[in-house]
Structure 1
Amino acid sequence: MTGCRRVGVIGLGRMGAPIAGHLAAAGHEVLGLDPDPVAGADLPVTVRRVTEDRELAGCEVVLVVAGGTAVARILLVDGQLRPSLRDRDVLVCSTVDPEEMRRLHEAAVRDGGRLLDAPLCRGDHGARRGDLLALVGGEPAVLARCADVLSAFCSDVVHVGGPGAGQVAKLVNNMLLWSTIASVVEGLRLAEALGVQRGPLVEGLCRSSADSWVLRTWERPRELPWADEDMRLVLDAASRAGADAPVSDVVQRVIGAVRSSGVLGEGGLGSAGWALPAHPVGEEAPGG
């Protein structure tokens, strides 16, 4: 499906605002909704701000790009899909607990809606560039109808399975990301303690079997705002599934210390304050 479409974007923060801009640049008629009047202050004039969800009723596609804990409140009222979101395609681009995502799919089917879970990877950098990755769960026919909308801000779209599968994929992605960040910080801290400078070491590791996206983008500032919530979701899902997750258990404790240290706030190679706060493995890390 191609051509100009009316698309609603709920959530105009670090991800939603640039996504709305890309959609408008692609020729779509874009309506943006966010309860925070400051959010999306730099939206292009071609994006029309609305103040109530009922104003999205004329949209063919609605994207939800809000914090994961707010998604159920955005989609449902009194346990039912909001009337403004019925009989249209709704893409949940937020990171949501997979079990809750499946319940939202069931509510949408029951109440005449069409839902995809389409959490996004590559963060606000990818949102600004318009080369995000969407990991999609839901019906292939719904995805086919929304392909042109996703292509406005995604360079890659992968359909990983049925309802909730996109959130499972994002959960695993996040677990591996935070695990890698924690490992890289610890490894580079060890190297520095042993007298090896970070810059040359990172260059060498990027050409070795230790190469990773985290190392290759090491100079990029990272505030890790979602690390704690992401790891909580991982461990909750593992517990429900009866799956062992010893690495995730450690990462949940360690990643809070990494964030609190400020090591990555100004970019991994240029940041000061390299030392991590010490804490016993059996205790909760600061902010964890």
Structure 2
Amino acid sequence: MTTTVGVIGLGNMGGGMAATLARHDFPVFGFDLSQAARDKAAAAGVTPVSSLAELLDTIDIVILSLPKAEHVEQLCLGKEGTQEENQDTTRLLTLGKPGLIVIDTTTSTPETSRKVAAALATRGIDFIDAPVSGGPKGAASGSMSMVIGAEEEVLARAMPVLEAMSGSRVHVGGCGAGNVAKIANNMLAACHLISTAEAVSMAARAGVSPEKLLEGVNAGSGRSGASQVMFPNWVINKAYDSGFTMGLMRKDVGLASDLAAALGLELPLANAVAQLWDESRASLDDSEDFCAIVQRTDSTLFGHGA
């Protein structure tokens, strides 16, 4: 029996995931508040729908690709403390059918994932937190990676869809664990962008070209996703078009700081990096590419006009 999939949020990431699944011959339905996003998805073989109720009436698995944890909670559970007459027609808790699997690819919080999962479970709906890495290109090509929080049995049922939309999947634990792992990953990425920029700047001033420096680092123990992917693809060529914004990375850095604080941890390096990302607001807008953080280290070397 063919699994029918719905995607909520047809932006850079969700639209790419929906198109990838459609290429793998899954019947895919897509919902987004933006008509332009729905039209673009339709051109990629996705059937657009105009309401959450219409979407959930036809699918077996629904994939969420939303900006923040609060959007996930609002979509799934509704607005807390409100008694809006139409709330039951706009929330997944009410409209989802027993047996539905919700796969949340948003970089959310473990608390939100567990809260939503517990509420949905009362309706016989299963929840997986599976935040992704790889950017819009990874979503569009099906090569992105996932860190997954889920029960084994639920994960097994969702695996054909997850395999079709991603290149690698790591099951790190129960509900919420995927978001813990993604927050940790993005904290490292935020650190590595700055530390690699400092290393490249130092080497350039000492007469070694950035390209050769990266070649040497990537052959040694100092390599990272920043040196292997971000700098070659989006920094050295000054493209700054990864598809992931400063605002989104600032949000993720904030999630790491909040998690460390909640756990009572003192993480001096992470705190210093978080401060650098926050201070960068003075010169780098939320809409700019997240790799542009390197310009704070060396505007002459990494600036658009350099």
TM over 0.5: yes
Contact 1:4 1:27 (8 Å CA) reproduced: no
Q: Paired residue for 2:54?
A: 55
1:236 aligns with: 258
- Which residue is 2:232 aligned to? 219
1:275: Cα distance to partner?
6.1
- Using a 3 Å threshold, how does the CA distance of structure 1 residues 215 and 115 change in structure 2: closer, same or farther? same
**1:263 offset after TM fit, Å?**
9.2
Aligned residue for 2:94?
83
Question: How far off its partner does 1:146 sit?
Answer: 0.7
Counterpart check, 1:185 vs 2:197 = yes
Confirm or deny: 8 A CA contact 1:263 1:273 kept in the other structure: no
- Matched residue, 1:131: 143
1:186–1:153 Cα change, 3 Å = same
Distance 1:81 1:224 in 2: 28
Q: Deviations over 1:153-191 (max 9, x none)?
A: 112111111110111011111111111111101211222
Partner of 1:279: none
Q: Distance in 1 between matches of 2:125 and 2:178?
A: 18
Q: Residues 112 and 236 from structure 1, CA distance in 2 versus in 1: closer, same or farther, beyond 3 angstroms?
A: same
Matched-pair contact (CA < 8 Å) for 2:143–2:168: yes
**1:186-205 matched pairs, under 5 angstroms:** 186-205=198-217
C-alpha root-mean-square deviation of aligned residues, in Å?
Answer: 2.6
CA contact (8 A) 1:98 1:168 kept: yes
Per the alignment, residue 245 of structure 1 pairs with 267
- Give the distance between the partners of 1:28 and 1:128, measured in 2 at CA: 15
Q: What is the Cα deviation at residue 135 of structure 1? A: 1.0
* Distance (whole Å) between structure 2 residues aligned to residue 161 and residue 262 of structure 1: 31
The alignment's TM-score, normalised by the length of structure 2, stands at 0.81
Q: Secondary structure at the match of 1:145?
A: helix
Select 1:10's aligned residue among 8, 11, 15: 8
Q: Give the TM-score of the pair, scaled to structure 1.
A: 0.86
Q: Could you tell me how far 1:272 is from its partner in structure 2?
A: 7.4
Letter in 1 for 2:22: A
Contact 1:12 / 1:33 at 8 angstroms: preserved in 2? yes
Q: Kindly indicate whether the alpha-carbon contact (under 8 Å) linking 1:11 and 1:64 is maintained by their aligned counterparts in 2.
A: yes
Structure 1 residues 174, 263: closer, same or farther in 2, change over 3 A? closer
**Match for residue 218 of structure 2?**
206
Distance in structure 1 (CA, Å) of the matches to 2:160 and 2:21? 10
1:101 aligns with 2:113: yes
Question: Compared with structure 1, are the counterparts of its residues 102 and 6 closer, same or farther at alpha carbon in structure 2 (3 Å cutoff)?
Answer: same
Distance 1:255 1:274, change over 3 A: farther
In 1, Cα distance between the equivalents of 2:206 and 2:52?
57
> Residues 57-103 of structure 1: CA distance to partner in whole angstroms, max 9, x if unpaired?
22100000111231111111255753222420000110101112111
Task: Count residues with an aligned counterpart.
Answer: 272
Deviation, 1:40, is 4.9
Gaps of 5+ in 2: 81-90, 235-241
